Amino acid sequence: MNLYRIILVDDEEEVRKGIIRKINWAEAGFEVVGDAENGEDALEKIEALDPDVVLTDIRMPYMDGLTLAQRVRQKYPSIKMVIFSGFDEFEYAKQAIRLNVIEYILKPVNGEELTAILKKIKNSLDEEIAQRRNVDLLRENYRRSLPVFRAQFLNDMIHRQIPDEIICGKLKDYGVDILGAKKWVAAVIDVESGKISREGRLSFHREQELIPISVRQMVTEMLEGDWRIASFPSSMEQELVLIAAIDADNSQTGFITVMGDVCKEIRRVLEVPVTVGIGHGCGSLSDIAQSYQSAKDALGYKAIVGTGGTIYINDVEPVSTGKLIWESRDEAALFTAVKFGPEEKIREAVRDILNRMEQARVHARQYQAYMLSITNSVVQMMQQYDMDFTEVFGAENRYLEGAGKGLNQEEFGEWLLQTGLKMNQAMNRERESSMKHVMQEAKRYILENYPDPDLSVEKICRHLHMSPAYFSTMFKKETGEAYTTYLTDVRLNKAVELLNKTDDKTYVIASKVGYQEQNYFSYVFKKKFGMSPTKYRGAK
């Protein structure tokens, strides 16, 4: 059985030991993972030990239980707080309730009462976890969210290239029946809501947001049964997108015809003019983004062709028998692979480029122009990240000097792969170096500002322009200790210097190293060095 983790906080060691002895923790469902003498100490323990429950006294030096509860509520809202106190005062109870303290117990702590409370808390934690893990509930939440997930993924498909195996799995999961076709074609339906005829009397014209819903419903009703389609609203534009599967018993020409009928029917029934842009067909769903873009391009000809019908891209733009163009999305895919890796992603990106070159079968001049465009993108990326050309290309720079003239596709692919791998390695080194530099700056900032009693992770992060969570992780990775521990060490080491070199009073030294309370400074000092500051000075 997994036990929940609990921390005890009380300034009296005997009280803590007494509570620990009184309770059969395992039977109650808990294990005591730590204890603390005050709120300041407890916060450090909470960060290090990640408890589920904190059991704390109210009256403690340096930071009382209610202040601790407030800090825990702000930073660790899922931790359960239990407060016990020797003071039966209503004001304490009211404050505790406001701080979401789940139990308020009077001292002296009764073993049976505390055990009963712990079991109650355990049951509550069990129920919370069970609810989070409830498969039926998760399944129902997933079912309710399915239309949103489906629309998000379909939008991803038309805005970036996704591998076929991922598309296949996702479309099956989302119940989108367009797999296994000869080819696919994208269409974009533009609702001309600004051109509704004056005689239109449909009530939903007064509710503009209902028009696209009505259009989508009519499109689905007219196409279902004969066509396998996925229809969804674009996340970036006010338009409806269709992906149609072209099977053996229908054709792209047939799809264009039926979409023309859809335009007429919507105009007749809803009195709303719509224009449909239809893109190139594609033999793989991973290329549907290109079909979508060509459908968008087709809509761009509305001013020339007119509105209220279909515009097929092949009718308005000459069909290219051989184009090999380095497009922005191709550049983005290569950059992402090179920037973030891993190696297999870089290899995959290069393979995609070579496959595109292989399938294009264009004139040699187009191959050369394509390779030069890629080379230019690589050079721009190196300039953007201030890379050393000699480090990446080598001293000879053979490829750059020849501008790609003497390289065939295989040689170009090998050059691009090796260049991408070297750039990735250089970026990783620079990233690590930059992080080391940032951590050095953090240490410098701490050394310059340790006297500030309000020096916190948040304050340092504002200076470094980092998030507190990421800073805490990287700082511990770099220094081997948490920020609070590091800051305490700096302050106490500075205090030792002042004790050795000056005759300042203890309270003055405490203030100089960032402690507002002399007593808490003495407590922390003794905890680290085994004696009070006064005794330390006397022993030197």
* DSSP-based helix, strand, coil % in the chain, nearest 5: 60, 10, 25
| Residue 193 clears pLDDT 70, i.e. is over it | no
Pick the closest to residue 377 from 320, 336, 409 (CA basis).
336
Which residues partner with 85 through β-bridges?
A: 106
What value does the mean pLDDT take over residues 334-342? 87
| Residue 404 clears pLDDT 50, i.e. is over it | no
pLDDT, one tens digit per residue, over 225-258 is 889 999 998 877 778 999 999 988 888 888 999 9
What value does the mean pLDDT take over residues 371-380? 88
Query: What was the pLDDT predicted at 1?
Result: 59
CA dihedral (406, 408, 409, 414) in degrees, to 10, reads: -70
Pairing of strands 274-282, 310-312: parallel
> What is the C-alpha separation between 245 and 266, in angstroms, rounded?
22
End-to-end Cα spacing for the chain:
52
Q: Which residues contact 244 (CB under 8 A, 6 or more apart)?
A: 178, 184, 185, 186, 187, 223, 227, 228, 229, 255
Query: What was the pLDDT predicted at 405?
Result: 47
Phi, psi angle pair for 183, to nearest 5°: -160, 175
Q: Are 480 and 492 in contact (CB under 8 A)?
A: no
Task: Work out the percent of the chain whose per-residue pLDDT is above 70.
Answer: 86
Query: What was the pLDDT predicted at 41?
Result: 87
pLDDT, one tens digit per residue, over 45-54 is 888 888 999 9
> What is the C-alpha separation between 168 and 151, in angstroms, rounded?
15
pLDDT, one tens digit per residue, over 309-335 is 999 988 887 555 457 788 888 888 888
Alpha helices (runs of H) in 321-408, residue ranges in sequence order: 328-340, 343-360, 364-384, 389-393, 398-402
> What is the C-alpha separation between 52 and 1, in angstroms, rounded?
15
> What is the C-alpha separation between 156 and 235, in angstroms, rounded?
9
Q: Would you call 326 helix, strand, or coil by DSSP?
A: coil
What's the mean per-residue pLDDT of the chain?
Answer: 83
Residue type, 527: K
pTM for this prediction: 0.46
Q: Which residues contact 508 (CB under 8 A, 6 or more apart)?
A: none
How many CB atoms within 10 Å of residue 401?
Answer: 9
pLDDT, one tens digit per residue, over 483-521 is 888 999 999 999 999 988 898 898 999 999 999 888 888
Query: What was the pLDDT predicted at 112?
Result: 87
| Residue 407 clears pLDDT 80, i.e. is over it | no
Local confidence band at 289 (pLDDT 50, 70, 90 cut-offs): very high
pLDDT, one tens digit per residue, over 267-288 is 888 888 889 999 999 989 999 9
